[in-house]
Amino acid sequence: MKKDLLKLLDLSKEDIVSILNTADQLKYETKHNIHKDYLKGKTLAMIFEKNSTRTRVSFETGMYQLGGHALFLSGKESQIGRGEPIEDTARVLDRYCDGIMIRTFAQEEVERLAQYTQIPVINGLTDFCHPCQVLADLLTIREHRAALEGLKMCYIGDGNNMANSLIVGGLKMGMEVSVACPEGYDPDQQVLDFAKGSPEHKFSLFRTPKEAAAGADVMITDVWASMGQEEEKAVRVKAFQGYQINEELMALTNSGCMVQHCLPAHRGEEITAGVFEAHAEEIFDEAENRLHAQKAVMYLLMKEEEQ
Please indicate whether residue 262 is annotated as part of the active site: yes
Q: Is 174 exposed, middle or buried (0-12, 13-18, 19+ CB in 10 A)?
A: middle
Please indicate whether residue 103 is annotated as part of the active site: yes
Catalytic residue among 4, 98, 103, 279: 103
Catalytic residue among 65, 97, 127, 130: 130
Please indicate whether residue 91 is annotated as part of the active site: no
Ranges assigned E (strand) in the chain: 43-48, 69-74, 99-103, 121-125, 152-156, 176-180, 202-206, 218-221, 258-261
Closest CA to 178 of 199, 197, 159, 161: 159
> How far is Cα 4 from Cα 35, in angstroms, rounded to an integer?
26
Please indicate whether residue 133 is annotated as part of the active site: yes
Catalytic residue among 107, 127, 262, 292: 262
Please indicate whether residue 290 is annotated as part of the active site: yes
DSSP class of 264? -
CB atoms within 10 A of CB 227: 14
Q: In what order do the strands lie in the sheet with 43-48?
A: 69-74, 43-48, 99-103, 121-125
Catalytic residue among 142, 222, 260, 294: 222
Catalytic residue among 261, 290, 292, 294: 290
Catalytic residue among 65, 107, 133, 244: 133
Please give the positions annotated as active site.
Answer: 103, 130, 133, 222, 262, 290
